[in-house]
Amino acid sequence: MHIAIFGGSFDPPHTGHVAIVKKALEDLDIDLLVIVPTYLNPFKQSFKAPPKKRLQWLKKIFMYQSRVKICDFEIRNNRPTYAIETVAYLRKRYKPQKIYYIIGSDNVSSLHKWHQYRKLSHLVEFVIATRRGYEAPYKFKRLEVDVPVSSTMLRKHPQKRYLPKQVAWEIIRFYRA
């Protein structure tokens, strides 16, 4: 079995995330894509939407995609969880022969700062989802995705056109409250 892990805050999930999932399912040789929302990203101090709300949104967005699973491992930990812990958990659960770990090109510059990065880089193959304005070194496998949106932008100004239709109005109401 080959799997891809796509972790992130998803605060909120947006059409860029959906495009990354779609492109990964098309381009990567995988049986399963596991989306892992963080409780709290180890590099951040806070979140806007509570972890369980973000988990619910992701489940609604991807509920009809049989090759996509939403994993609540990091949220159940109720603390910031390192990628290496999540990889260990998913290796035990799925016993894959191959693991891809998808990150946005906005995270490449801090990848070397990830907890136990060297060990992690031997366990997974990193895949970079491209985004205009961010470097995506060619030493990594790439998913050519360029949706001009970020969760940071949507927390400040939620716009329906950048939100998955299944949860768009929920997200707009939440961030405008």
The ranges assigned to domains in the chain are 2-176
Please give the structure tokens belonging to residue 130: 């491209």
Run of H or E including 18: helix 15-27
Each residue's pLDDT tens digit, 62-93: 999 999 999 999 999 999 999 999 999 999 99
Please give the structure tokens belonging to residue 48: 């806007």
Please give the structure tokens belonging to residue 116: 């136990």
**Residue 51: predicted pLDDT:** 97
Q: Quickly count: other Cβ atoms within 10 Å of residue 86's Cβ.
A: 21
Each residue's pLDDT tens digit, 20-39: 999 999 999 999 999 999 99
| Rounded Cα gap, residues 104 and 131, in angstroms | 7
Each residue's pLDDT tens digit, 104-124: 988 898 999 999 999 999 999
Fold type of domain 2-176: Rossmann fold (3.40.50)
| Residue 43 or residue 11, greater confidence | 11
CA nearest to 107, candidates 53, 150, 48, 54:
150
| Rounded Cα gap, residues 143 and 6, in angstroms | 12
Q: Which amino acid is at 116?
A: Q
| Residue 77 or residue 133, greater confidence | 77
Please check the confidence at residue 131 and state whether its pLDDT lies above 90. no
**Residue 139: predicted pLDDT:** 85
Strand partners, 69: 34
| Rounded Cα gap, residues 22 and 18, in angstroms | 6
**Residue 136: predicted pLDDT:** 73
| Rounded Cα gap, residues 79 and 54, in angstroms | 15
**What are the start-end ranges of the E strands in the chain?**
2-8, 32-37, 68-70, 98-104, 125-129, 141-143
**Residue 137: predicted pLDDT:** 73
